[in-house]
Amino acid sequence: MKSRSYLPYYFIAPAAIIIFGIALYPILHTFYISLHQINLKFPDLGMSFIWFENYIRLFRDVRAMSALLNTIFFTVSTVALELIFGMIIALLMDRALRFRGILRATVLIPWAMPTVVAAMLWRWMYNDQSGIINAILVATGVTTEYLQFLAEPALAWVAVIVTEVWKTTPFMALLLLAGLQVIPREVYEASAIDGASKIRTFFTITLPLIKPVLLVALLFRTLDAFRVFDVIFVMTGGGPGNSTESLSLYTYKTMFGALDFGYGSALSILTFVCVILISVLYIKFIGTKTR
Amino acid sequence: MKSIILHSFLIFILFTGCSPEEDVTTITFNLGRDPTGAHYAIIELFEETYPDIKVQVVESPQDASLQHDLYVTRFAGKDNSIDVIALDVIWIAEFARAGWLLPLDDLAVELPMDDFLPGPVEACTYRDSLFAIPWFTDAGLLYYRQDLLNEYGFDEPETWNDLQIIVDTIRRDNPQLSGFLLQAEQYEGLICNVMEFIWSHGGSVWDKSGHWHTATPETEKAIQTLIDFIRTDDIIPRGVLTYQEEESRHVFQDGRAIFLRNWPYVWELANNPATGSNVVGKVGIAPLPGEKPGLHAATLGGWNLGISAYSDHPDESRKLISFFMEYDHMKQFSLDGGRLPTRMSIYKDPDILQRSPHFEDLFEVFINARPRPVTPHYSQISDIMQVYIHRALLERITVREALDRIDGEVLALFERYGK
């Protein structure tokens, strides 16, 4: 009898081993490295165990802290905008009866484009002398002079956020659309009979009913935005004056530019911890609301 | 029946055709993508001369920092598939310190090292050993609109002040033109441009006794000049804070700027109507101005050939490097690819001067081009400098503050790992 109770463990063992091998082991190894001073440039200095010194350095490092704040700012602003625009597009697509297929395919184009290609495209569009955005702004009289978008920290942020929102709103819209389409039509009919306004219907019926889908979409996008690298790397390289450097970009520069793998690993672990915190918060939120 | 004949034929080829291959050594030649492909002709010649060595060309992306990251990953994994490798001048100290390159002092004995340009040799030397041989070089130059300068009766500018006067005068009638373009995005090119400003003001980043020290009056003045050009005087358009080489080349080539600082590759493109250039035949080329007459400065770029410490074929690799360095081969390579040779005698070659007459005047620039700090810490130092100098150019911090921060962080770096 006793041996039978072990049986389930044998069944889950392969899955557990694979998960450990591809997810857990790299994280644990990164953590192990982050407790050492190790720089590939100096193999003769070896790998010395320094406890949490890299973490102490991290919290004293102004650049790391501002990269963290930049990342949080980027995440919050892009996800909020994607939510608003994604919701509007999803509601429109839910209504549209004709050309539905074409509409959905068109909306997906930015999402299907490789991020680096899209970022490169936008970089040229923002160009201060030959960019189309400046041409449009001046032609429509919004500004009288050409703006140096990527040369001013505030404008560079706008530029990067617009690119990211343009790129990933379709993903949000499609997930939300899926949520909208499973809402039974009768509920809407009932609210119409009760004489509820459109806005009232949206807030008391649509929103609560798509909440689970909404939270999953938000979770995906938040985690994704928090790891932002490519858009910023291509468009600004972290500039101007390092004002748009994200945590991933700083980690990359530390690891592959400076070859400081010990400190770079500590930065990776910081990203990992933040991502875990975000996930836990969301999952808690999703869990309680659907019960 | 047919198939039997075919098969025996194939088997025949298999046994006879391939057997000589067994004593052939294959070495890899790793370099960034070169659109001119001029190295292939030399490699063909090499394989004819050494039938027992075959060279496999392995190209990586053109972007130098992507190549750096690629090589670092492979070296860290002790990858033995790299034999000969083309190295950017700024990697050599770093790779040599990490023990990834073979010292090539024995090769230096065979080669006429006195004929090589001093700057590239300095960049290839780490702790008194040579770790790479300069292959072709690069140096920052001033391009100018010859037609405009002639029209207004100006000579090429000797000092930064001259340049400022020329820009002011010409822009008075042509406000749509930009004055002087350079590369000042937060990236490696910013440091190339800034070093030229620093050197042309008599400043430096190392002091005479070999200590790191940027916060000097000369350096401060140099960067302040750059800031003033960008802000108050409108000599340099603010957009350069987002420019790399290609952005600035396009604006200049469209005929929308008077001056451009760029590398020698622009010369052929700006003078080739096929590139859509609007300034064909209207471009002049000169050394960059200085604070005082004669105080010209140029940042050294260029590529050098080294051998991986993990290579299984160091002797064959040495042969390939020597072959590339021979007078005739280097000459052919620069004729085909429009590259600047590293051997000084080639600059006097009539064939070279016929193809690139401007080499004669610019030889002074190439011989005086200076390497960026030769230290294994370079990539990190560059990153630190990029952050603070770009911030100073935005006027978020003062120049003094930027330089103090740079010194503080660089010294902390030396303290952590040794110089």
CA dihedral B293, B299, B304, B308 (to 10 degrees): 140
Angle of the A153-181 helix axis to the A62-95 helix axis, nearest 10: 40
Nearest to A73 by CA among A164, A185, A12: A164
Residues 126-165 of A with CB under 8 A from B: 127-130, 146, 148-153
The whole-angstrom separation of Cα B153 and Cα A151 is: 35
> Which member of B97, B238, B396 has the closest CB to residue A41?
B97
Residue B307: its pLDDT value, please?
Answer: 97
**What value does the mean pLDDT take over residues A52-56?**
95
For the residues B216-221, what does the mean pLDDT come to? Answer: 95
From the CA of A272, how many Å to the nearest CA of chain B? 22
pLDDT tens sequence across A226-281: 999 999 999 999 989 999 999 999 999 999 888 899 999 999 999 999 999 999 99
Instruction: Give me the residue from B241, B377, B418 closest to A240, CB to CB.
Output: B241
Enter the CATH code of domain B141-297+377-417. 3.40.190.10
Structure tokens at B57: 């060309």
Of the candidates A151, A153, A260, which has its C-beta nearest B242's C-beta? A151
- Integer Cα distance of B241 and B227 in angstroms: 11
Residue A114, φ and ψ in degrees, nearest 5: -60, 135
* Interface predicted TM-score of the whole assembly (ipTM), two decimals: 0.85
**Residue ranges of the domains in chain B?**
2-138+301-368, 141-297+377-417
Tokens (6 digits) for B5: 């004949």
3-class DSSP state for residue B180? strand
A260 bridge partner residues: A39
Q: Which CATH superfamily is domain A35-290 in?
A: MetI-like (1.10.3720.10)
Contact B157, B294 (CB under 8 A): no
Helix (H) or strand (E) holding B59: strand B53-60
Give the mean pLDDT of B187-192. Answer: 95
Contact between A258 and B394 using a beta-carbon 8 Å cutoff: no
pLDDT band at A290 (very low <50, low <70, confident <90, very high): very low
User: What single letter denotes the amino acid at residue A283?
Assistant: I
SS (H, E, C) A91-137: HHHHHCCCCHHHHHHHHHHHHHCCHHHHHHHHHHHCCCCCCHHHHHH
Distance from CA of A221 to the nearest CA of B (A): 28
- The pLDDT mean for chain A works out to 90
Mean pLDDT (whole number) for A6-35: 92
Three-state DSSP state, B217: helix
Chain B residues within an 8 Å CB radius of A236: 186, 242
Q: How far apart are alpha carbons A36 and B14 in whole angstroms?
A: 54
CB-CB neighbours of B56 under 10 Å: 12
- Chain B residues with CB under 8 Å of a chain A CB are 65, 68-69, 72-73, 76, 94, 97-99, 178, 185-187, 237-239, 241-242, 247, 250-251, 254, 256, 376-377, 379-380, 383, 386-387, 390-391, 393-394, 396, 416-418
Question: At B367, is the secondary structure helix, strand, or coil?
Answer: helix
Contact, B84 vs B25, CB < 8 A? Answer: no
- Each residue's pLDDT tens digit, B327-356: 999 999 998 888 899 999 999 999 999 988
Listed range (A4-8, B37-41, B178-182, B335-339) with the worst mean pLDDT: A4-8
3-state secondary structure of B44: helix
B222: helix, strand or coil: helix
Tell whether the model's pLDDT for residue B19 goes beyond 50: no
Residue A131 phi, psi (nearest 5): -75, 145
Q: Which residues of B202-212 are buried (b: 16+ CB within 10 A; e: fewer)?
A: bbbbeeeeeeb
Q: Smallest Cα–Cα separation from B304: which of B128, B92, B96?
A: B92
CATH 3.40.190.10 for the B2-138+301-368 domain, yes or no: yes
